A and B are shown apart, each in its own frame.
Chain A
Amino acid sequence: MMRLALWRIVGALPNLLGVVVITFLLTRALPGDPAAFFAGQAASNEAIEQIRAQLGLDRPLPEQFVTYVVDLLMGDLGQSLTTGQPVAAEILSRLPASVELTLVALAIAISIALPLGVLAAVHQGGWIDQFARVITTAGVSLPVFFTGLLLTWLFYFVLGWAPSPIGRLDPAFSPPPAVTGAYLIDAALTGDGELWVACAKQIVLPAGAMALAVLAPIARMTRASMLSVLSSDFVRTARALGLRGDTVLVRYALRNALLPVVTTLGMVFSFLLGSNVLIEKVFAWPGIGSFAIDSLTASDYAPVQGFVLTMGVLYVLLNLAIDLLYLVIDPRVVLQP
C-alpha cells in the first residue's frame, strides 16, 4: 500500500515538470521584448541592455530555465508591480479563499449529483431520470458567470434571501482569526455560530453557481456506473440472499459504482479551478483568480504567471489526491508501472 502510494507520487512528477516548463515558456513569451517591458517606456538602449543582463535574459534558454527552477524552489515568483509585494506572498494569502470556494462547490455538487444519479439509475426511464437528463444537459451549457449573475439576481434582488454578494463576509462581521484561512473552518473553531452562518450565506451562491456546472459529469457517470453495477451478478445474489433493498443499494452497489465517478473528478476539478476565476470576478471574491484578473488589467504579468503556475501545481496535486483516494476505496487496484 505505501509502495503503491509512493509510486503514484513519483508518477505525478512528469506532470509537475510539464507545468513548470510550460509556465517558464509563457514567462519568456511576454509581448514584445520583456527587458524593454520591465525597463519602462522611456528607457534608453543601455538601460534596456542592463535590465536584460539583470534579468538574465542574455543567457541561453536552458540556463535561464535552471535559474527559474532555482528561484521557484526558493519560493520566488517575482514582484507584483501594482502592489509592490512578492507574488508568492500575495498568492499564498489569497489561496485559502479560492481553495475554500472550490471545495465547497465540489461538496455541493457531489451532494446533489450522487443521489440524483443513483435515483435516475434506480428509476431508469422514470420522471426523475428525465429530470436528471434535462438538468445535466442544461448544466454543461451554462456559462458559469451567467449562472452566478442569475443566482445573484434571484436570491439577492428578487427574494432578498442572500446577503450582498460582494466578498467573503458581510462588512458587519470581522473575519475569524486565521488558522486554516478557510472562513467556514476558522469560524467553526471560534464556536461563533452567528459568524459561521454569515460566512456560509456568503459562500453558498458563488459555490452553488460553480456546482451547477459540474453536476452534469458527476450525475451522468453515477447513473451509468450504477446501471451497470445494478445489473451485475453480485447485486442479484445479494438481493436473492434477502438483504434489505437500501443495504444492497448503498453498501454493495454504490460503493462499487463510485470508482468511475472518482475518475471523473479530475475533469471536474479542471473545470472548477477554471470557473473559479470567472466566479471570483462576479462575486468580488478575494481569491487568486481576482488577483490574476486585476493584475492582467494592469498589464502586470508576474502575478498572472504565478497564478497559472499555482493553479497548475494545485491541479496536479488534486489529481494525485484522487489517485491516492482510489487506492483507499478500491483495494483491488494493482500497480501497473
Chain B
Amino acid sequence: MPASGATPRRVSHLRYVLTENPVTLVAVVMYCVLVLMAGFGPMIAPYDPLATAPERALQPPSAAHWFGTDALGRDILSRCIVAARLDLGLAVSAVALSFAIGAPLGAAAGFFGGWADRVVSRLADTIMAFPLFVLAMGIVAAMGNTLANIVIATAIINLPFYIRVARAEANVRRSAGFVESARLAGNSEWGVLVRHVFPNLLPPMAVQVSLNMGWAILNAAGLSFIGLGVRPPTPEWGILVAEGAQYILSGEWWVALLPGAVLMTAVFSFNLLGDALRDLLDPRRRT
C-alpha cells in the first residue's frame, strides 16, 4: 500500500477491511437497516403496530403481512420494525452508561495503581462473582420494574468489562515515553491521565463498546422476555417472542420465531461489526 498521508490511508484501509471480508459488508448493510428502523420505524412500518383486527388473527406470513399476524391480528413485521428504536435505545443507553462510569474508573485504577486499583478491581470482581444475567434480574427486582432500571442493571453487569479493558490499557501506558515527557513538561498527574493517557484508551474501548452492544441487546431482550421492564402492548423484541411462545406448540411458529430472528440478526450484525472494528483499529489481534 503506497504511503499517501494519514487520512487517505485510513480510508483505503477501511475500504480494504470492507472488501476483504464480504461478511463485514453484509454486517454494515444490516447495521444501516437497523439504524433506519430505529430512526424512522413508525414511518416505514406498513401497518399500525398497535392496531388490532380480530378477523385476521394468527395469519401465516403472506404478501400482505410478510411476518404474519399475532393473536390479536396485529402485523408482526410492523411491530418488529417499531421495536427497533426501543431495543437499540435501551442497549445504547446501557452501553453509554457503562462506558461513562467504567472507562474513567478503570483508567484511574490502572494509571495510579495502589489503593485506587485495589478498590476498583475488587468492585469489578464482586460484580463478576454473580452469573451476570441473574444479577441484572436481582437489580431490576430490587430497584423497581422500570425501563430506567433495565438500563441501569444492564450497565452494571457490563461495567467489569470496561473497567478491565481501561485498566489494562492505562496500566501499560503509565510509564510510556510520551507519558514521561508529559510529566517532565510539568503536567500534573491528573492532567497527564486526562489529556495524554485517556485519549489513547479510546480505540480499544471503541472495540469493547461495539462487541458489547450485541450482548446488551440480548440482555435487555432477555429481561423483558421474563416480564421485566417493558410492558405489553409496547412492541419490544423480547416481549414479542414471549407473546408468541405459547403458539409454538400449536404450530403458529411465525408469532415467536420471526421477531426472534430479527433480534438474532440485530445481535449478529453488531457482533460482526465489532470484529470488523477490531480488525480496523488493531490489526494485530486479527484471528
The residues of A with any CB-CB pair to B shorter than 8 Å are: 14-16, 18-19, 21-23, 26-27, 29-31, 137-138, 140-146, 149-150, 152-153, 156-157, 164-165, 224, 269-275, 277-278, 281-282, 292-293, 296-297, 301, 304-305, 307-308, 311-312, 315-316
Contact = CB atoms under 8 A, between A and B. Distances in A.
Q: Which 6 A-B pairs have the closest CB atoms?
A: A274-B133, A146-B260, A18-B126, A308-B138, A273-B131, A31-B144
B45 interface: no
Nearest to B275: A137
Interface in B196-235: 214, 218, 221-222, 225-228
Nearest to A280: B226
Given A141-B271, A143-B263, A301-B141, 17 more contacts: A16-B129, A19-B130, A26-B141, A137-B271, A138-B268, A140-B271, A141-B218, A143-B241, A143-B267, A146-B263, A149-B257, A277-B134, A277-B226, A304-B138, A311-B134, A312-B131, A315-B129
B63 to A, nearest CB: 23
18 contacts: A22-B130, A22-B135, A141-B271, A143-B222, A143-B225, A143-B238, A143-B264, A143-B267, A146-B241, A153-B248, A153-B253, A156-B249, A157-B249, A270-B131, A274-B134, A277-B133, A277-B226, A307-B138
B227 A293 contact: yes
Interface residues of B, number: 48
A19 B132 CA distance: 12
Contacts of A153: 248, 251, 253, 257
B260 A143 contact: yes
A293 B145 CA distance: 13
Contacts of A16: 129
Task: Tell which of B125, B139, B225 has the most Cβ of chain A within 10 Å.
Answer: B225
Contacts of A146: 241, 256-257, 260-261, 263-264
B143 A278 contact: no
A270 B137 contact: no
Interface of B: 122, 125-126, 128-135, 137-139, 141-145, 214, 218, 221-222, 225-228, 238, 241-242, 244-245, 248-251, 253, 256-257, 260-261, 263-264, 267-268, 271-272, 287
Nearest to A296: B141
Could you tell me the dominant secondary structure of chain B's interface residues? Answer: helix
A29 B139 CA distance: 9
A169 to B, nearest CB: 17
Contacts of A297: 227
Task: Tell which of B126, B130, B268, B272 has the most Cβ of chain A within 10 Å.
Answer: B130
Contacts of B256: 146, 149
Contact of A301 (B142, B226, B264): B142
A308 B221 contact: no
Task: Tell which of A137, A277, A281, A301 has the most Cβ of chain B within 10 Å.
Answer: A277
B185 to A, nearest CB: 39
Nearest to A166: B249
A304 B226 contact: no
B227 A312 contact: no
Contacts of A270: 128, 130-132
Given A31-B144, A278-B225, A141 B260 contact: no
